[in-house]
Structure 1
Amino acid sequence: FIKKIRNEMKFKTPDDLSRQIKKDLEKAKDYFSKVWA
């Protein structure tokens, strides 16, 4: 996860970064809902 955050330094604008974070959050929600179902 820490490595992922470092990789996000390559985004050029805060918008790019926030869009990516939203995508990651959706993936995480999906993953955890399956794990804890």
Structure 2
Amino acid sequence: VSFVKGGVARNVAECMAKLGSKPFIISIVGTDVA
């Protein structure tokens, strides 16, 4: 497992924040589809 401070979602969230929005990111990693 590695933690990386970056990626497309983070870049979009940063740009949204610079425009005055309050973005948040929810993500999950798993093997089930439920």
TM-score normalised by L of structure 1: 0.37
**Larger Cα Rg: Structure 1 or Structure 2?**
2
Q: Which structure has greater helix proportion? A: 1
